Structure 1
Amino acid sequence: MTTQNQWSELNLEPIIQKVIANEFKFQYLMPVQKAAIPHFIKNYDVAVEAQTGSGKTLTFLVPLFNQFSKQKYSDHQLFGLVLSPARELAQQIYDVAKNFQNVNQAKIAFAIGGTSNEHDVKYLNEKGCNILIATPGKLRQLLDMADLQVNVKTLEYLIFDEADRLMSNEYSDDIRFILSKLPKQRRTGLFSATLSSAKIHDLMKLGLRNPVQVKVNANETMPAKLRNYYHIFENRMDKISGLVDLIEKKCQNNKSIIFFNTCCSVVYYSIIFKQLFPDCNFLSMNGQMAQKKRQKIVANFKSTNSVILFTTDVLARGLDFDDVPLVIQFDPPQDPSFFIHRSGRTARQGRDGEAILLLEQHERGFIQFLGRSNIEMNQLEDVAFDCQFQQLKEKCLKIVTTDRDIIEKGKAAFISFIRSYKEHKLQILFQFNQLNIGKVACSFFLLRIPRIKEILSKKIEFEQSQIDPNSIPFLDKNQEKQYLQKRENKDKKLEEKNIQQLPKQQVPKKQEKNIKNIKSIRKKVKQQHVQEDDEELRAEQNLVRKLKQGKITLQQFKDRMKDFDPEDLQDADYDKDDL
């Protein structure tokens, strides 16, 4: 490195130089810091695109606190606002920002879902707030609170971290509302690993003015020491066997992250693999977990040397894990842009790292797609894939048939995978009609394939198990009791509905006919049972989709979810930021 790459070469205030030297122990600048910080300090708006793990967080925090140090602000004057799409990322930014808390006695706070608005407003009013890190949904709610005493009209710096995601339709209403409350005369910074010119142009309509565009390592979309590998399997049965091989041969003595596309898959496979590898330390995390539980899992993962984390894309962006040598993408991402973010969880801060992508034969075109995006992919050759699916299936069926709850979770995982695959954003390469539904069902170790509309017209080769799922009880007695009661209530409702639908001329008069009709009705009830369960799950997923698209409010979502099963919401902590 040369002298111009040193932090001391930047025209920073002495107190900021001291924090960087003493708190972070940094002497040299990362390329993105060298390119972007001088512009942001000179009061230019900036749009920064740089690879994941390149030091973007300090790139926006240093100019923010450098300018804050130059004059005194009261405790309730907001100077800087950092918006993040994910709670965990907001927490991480807050942890870094706290190193600057002695700069001008800055009042630093963060606001995310998981706590009541009243609690957050009381805290901000009592403690004050000069620098705020927040998620969009929570901030919108706080700005709507009449008793909030923080003055947002004094804002000088607005930061969008993971800006491309914040500009998606999922957050558009929240962002527009927030911007309507903020002063137009301010500095604005966009930071992301993937930031297109079209997206920058969209945000310019909302207040970004003639930004300086900084693109570091334009010819490299991945960290320099990251090695990307892929392996192609004949079908999903072979792929799940391959994951067993990878965990056995590459994951047991280090820290690794394994990505799936749906929350249900994470929940289900974590149960299976914990029993397949009882000596391994497994963690699982998805966006439907309560915030406190997610924070605990992240902290546990960071502090443990040997651990395997099953997760969704809720963990794909922004979070900084320094010592993860291996990432496995079991499901290729539904949104291709997330490939970079997932792989970027390894090889951070100049460390070595491997990212392995698992594909089926009909998905091999994705390799060429990545190549056109300047992502070099190499075939994985140092692992012998010798796990036999039939032997794995026998082991997993023993696990599955111990508890009806595992059966139900496997069914939900299969349904969520099918629907996720059908909605893939790169359907020209991930073609639903090329998916072997029977082998997919086998990879989830199902006893029966659930009837859902997405697969009703498809020819499916699948041998049903001789084990009747209804003969397997829930291990949890309360759960079994609730399940049987719910089933009985549904039976009664369906029976009454079918009786009401009988034509008047067919209403039996003799007791003998009554018995025959009742038997027929009960048969119909059983046939309609599975179908109704599937329709209910589909309706729930449609509600989640409507919430993400802004067609319903979070409160409307919660109210409608209660119509399906009020007990399911007792411990839930739904938040628009991570649904």
Structure 2
Amino acid sequence: MQEKRGVDTFDNMSSRALRDLEREFRFGSVGTLVISPTRELAMQIAEEAKKVVEKERKMHVHVLVGGVKSIRQRRPWDLYPKDIVVATPGRLLDLLSIPSFREALATTQTLVLDEADMLLELGFREDIQSIISHLPSNEQRTTFLFSATMDPSIAEVARASLHEKHRFIDCIPPGEDCVHKRIPQTITTLQNASEMLAHVMRLIAHDQMIHGPRSKIMLFTSTTKLTDLLANMVQSMLPALPGSNNTQVFRIHSMLDQAKRSRISQRFRQCDNLPSIMFTSDVSARGVDYPSVTRVIQLGVPPSKAMYVHRVGRTGRRGRDGRADLVVMDFESAFVAFQLDDMPLEDLNPASFATQVEQLSQECDREPLPKLVAPIEPRLQTLESALIPNAQSRIQAETIQGVFSSLFGYYYSLRQLLRTSNAHILDSVQSLIQGLMGLADKPTPSPAMRQMLGSSFKPERRRGTKRLNNRDTKPSKFRFKGPSSGKYPRS
């Protein structure tokens, strides 16, 4: 009887009253709330949502992300209906202190948690729980959870946010491999960091000689400061590449403001007639779609196996070919052995690969591809003799210390996965910086590093830091000092 009265009430309402009621509902209630872990992904989702509703002039998409002043997002909130809201957890929590946001979210009809595994990995579990506490119960809303990996932590979030009778849908057809399993993947383990720049440049040159102007590379690094350093160094070494100065170099990381990150993303996305390289931190690792990426290069181990999978997933998308290369130092071997043991990684010997690149350059010089600058082989030979030492000589002292501190902090946070001692992490990172930057001596730990190391820190006496002369001396080799693989407990 109650439902019948409700129908009679609506039937008896005038058209104007119905329009007013509809307006009140659409302006005062969120239709669909999409929560994304990063700004880049949130903005990409919003752009796609706008395309879906572009023919529905009444429908509006709100974007609530950090990196821009909140006032720019608060004004449209009161002026337009809240049909689709795409947000990052931090900005959404900030805005929940405003009554109009709380009231609208309290009647949300649909919740979407995108890249749920990354939301957890970035530490948003409590934020997500707090946001969900402001929404209707899971019996009163429709909820979707999307994740590329499904580990126990994801299952726990699913139980908390989804209806108890939720369904699991696997988007990978039976018998078909995941993208990260069918992409050719190599691993190069370097004994000496002085080989790193030359090897990375050969990987880039290899891709350019194969794909010509369609070469589109994403190079992932461990920290923001390392991203900036490598982008600057490679920029100065472009003359050695097959694409030479035609090569477009981009960089993106969390320290750039959102407007700049958006412009860079769009430029890289649209770059399809010149060789291009995007140096990036993990802000680009998940969900963000850069079409036609021909190769992913990872410098150093990622923070987790899931992040490795997501990085690899930037290439070979939509059925296209792709390739992934992982370049690590010897002290990172335990991470590879135990975290990536089921990945189809093929060993790539740097010396053999250098020969392969040399032979390919000779072939390209005989039949050059468009946008590649001939001759290639003589210019590649200038890498170790001139271009790398020149790039290293330009590095400022404050840059050395900044990259050293950031890398030590990164690897220190992975000490359990690296299965080695704090002292060995320090020594290994020092050797990494020494070889990468061409220093005669290892950099000196900061007071903050010494405090983190505690009693394991034993200072060394030094005469000072000098630039390494590649023609006279080389940094000493170092090897992984952990226990033998047979003594490791399997994780």
Residue in 2 aligned with 1:256? 217
From 328, 335, 344, give the equivalent of 1:376.
Answer: 344
Cα distance in 2, alignment partners of residues 308 and 462 from structure 1: 39
Cα distance in 2, alignment partners of residues 398 and 296 from structure 1: 31
**Does residue 450 of structure 1 match 2:417?**
no
Question: Which runs of structure 2 are paired with 1:13-28 in the superposition (5 Å)?
Answer: none
From 166, 179, 192, give the equivalent of 1:235.
Answer: 192
Deviations 1:41-76 (A, max 9, x none): xxxxxxxxxxxxxxxxxxxxxxxxxxxxxx996344
- Following superposition, the deviation at residue 177 of structure 1 comes to 2.2
Does the residue aligned with 1:257 lie in a helix, a strand or coil?
A: strand
- Following superposition, the deviation at residue 419 of structure 1 comes to 1.9
Residue in 2 aligned with 1:283? 250
Cα distance in 1, alignment partners of residues 198 and 258 from structure 2: 33
Residue in 1 aligned with 2:80? 127
Does the residue aligned with 1:215 lie in a helix, a strand or coil?
A: coil
Does the residue aligned with 1:109 lie in a helix, a strand or coil?
A: strand
Deviates more, 1:95-104 or 1:83-92: 95-104
Cα distance in 2, alignment partners of residues 121 and 173 from structure 1: 24
Gapped regions of structure 1 (runs ≥ 5): 1-70, 401-405, 468-579
**Does residue 79 of structure 1 match 2:72?**
no
Amino acid at match of 2:268: F
TM-score scaled by length of structure 2: 0.72
Contact 1:159/1:189, CA 8 A, preserved across alignment: yes
From 423, 433, 437, give the equivalent of 1:440.
Answer: 433
Cα distance in 1, alignment partners of residues 169 and 415 from structure 2: 28
Instruction: Identify if the C-alpha distance between structure 1 residues 143 and 410 changes in structure 2 by more than 3 Å, giving closer, same or farther.
Output: same
Residue in 2 aligned with 1:416? 406
- Following superposition, the deviation at residue 168 of structure 1 comes to 4.4
**Does residue 115 of structure 1 match 2:76?**
no
Does the residue aligned with 1:114 lie in a helix, a strand or coil?
A: coil
Q: How many residues align?
A: 391
Question: Which runs of structure 2 are paired with 1:331-342 in the superposition (5 Å)?
Answer: 331-342=300-311
Gapped regions of structure 2 (runs ≥ 5): 1-21, 240-244, 359-380, 469-491
Contact 1:414/1:441, CA 8 A, preserved across alignment: no
Question: Which runs of structure 2 are paired with 1:80-159 in the superposition (5 Å)?
Answer: 80-101=32-53, 102=55, 105-148=58-101, 151-159=104-112
Instruction: Identify if the C-alpha distance between structure 1 residues 360 and 186 changes in structure 2 by more than 3 Å, giving closer, same or farther.
Output: same
Deviations 1:265-297 (A, max 9, x none): 011221122112151321111111111111011
- Following superposition, the deviation at residue 366 of structure 1 comes to 4.4
Residue in 2 aligned with 1:14? none
TM-score scaled by length of structure 1: 0.61
Does the residue aligned with 1:113 lie in a helix, a strand or coil?
A: coil
Amino acid at match of 1:444: M
Contact 1:413/1:444, CA 8 A, preserved across alignment: no
Residue in 2 aligned with 1:507? none
Contact 2:63/2:85, CA 8 A, preserved across alignment: yes
Cα distance in 1, alignment partners of residues 340 and 224 from structure 2: 29
Question: Which runs of structure 2 are paired with 1:303-452 in the superposition (5 Å)?
Answer: 303-305=270-272, 306-369=275-338, 372-373=341-342, 375-380=343-348, 383-384=353-354, 394-400=389-395, 406-424=396-414, 427-429=417-419, 433=424, 436=428, 437-446=430-439, 449-452=443-446
Amino acid at match of 1:464: T
Question: Which runs of structure 2 are paired with 1:538-553 in the superposition (5 Å)?
Answer: none
CA RMSD across the alignment: 3.1
- Following superposition, the deviation at residue 130 of structure 1 comes to 0.9
Amino acid at match of 1:396: A
- Following superposition, the deviation at residue 346 of structure 1 comes to 0.4
- Following superposition, the deviation at residue 157 of structure 1 comes to 1.1
Cα distance in 2, alignment partners of residues 429 and 351 from structure 1: 37
Cα distance in 2, alignment partners of residues 90 and 292 from structure 1: 13
Cα distance in 2, alignment partners of residues 428 and 270 from structure 1: 27
Amino acid at match of 1:91: M
Cα distance in 1, alignment partners of residues 271 and 461 from structure 2: 43
Does the residue aligned with 2:403 lie in a helix, a strand or coil?
A: helix
- Following superposition, the deviation at residue 463 of structure 1 comes to 8.0
Amino acid at match of 1:376: P
Amino acid at match of 1:172: R
Cα distance in 2, alignment partners of residues 296 and 228 from structure 1: 30
Contact 1:447/1:465, CA 8 A, preserved across alignment: yes
Instruction: Identify if the C-alpha distance between structure 1 residues 223 and 337 changes in structure 2 by more than 3 Å, giving closer, same or farther.
Output: closer
Contact 1:286/1:312, CA 8 A, preserved across alignment: yes
Deviations 1:156-211 (A, max 9, x none): 21110010222347213322221121111212111111121343224423555332
**Does residue 194 of structure 1 match 2:149?**
yes
Deviations 1:62-106 (A, max 9, x none): xxxxxxxxx996344311111001000001111111122135943
- Following superposition, the deviation at residue 126 of structure 1 comes to 0.6
From 170, 173, 183, give the equivalent of 1:215.
Answer: 170
- Following superposition, the deviation at residue 304 of structure 1 comes to 1.1
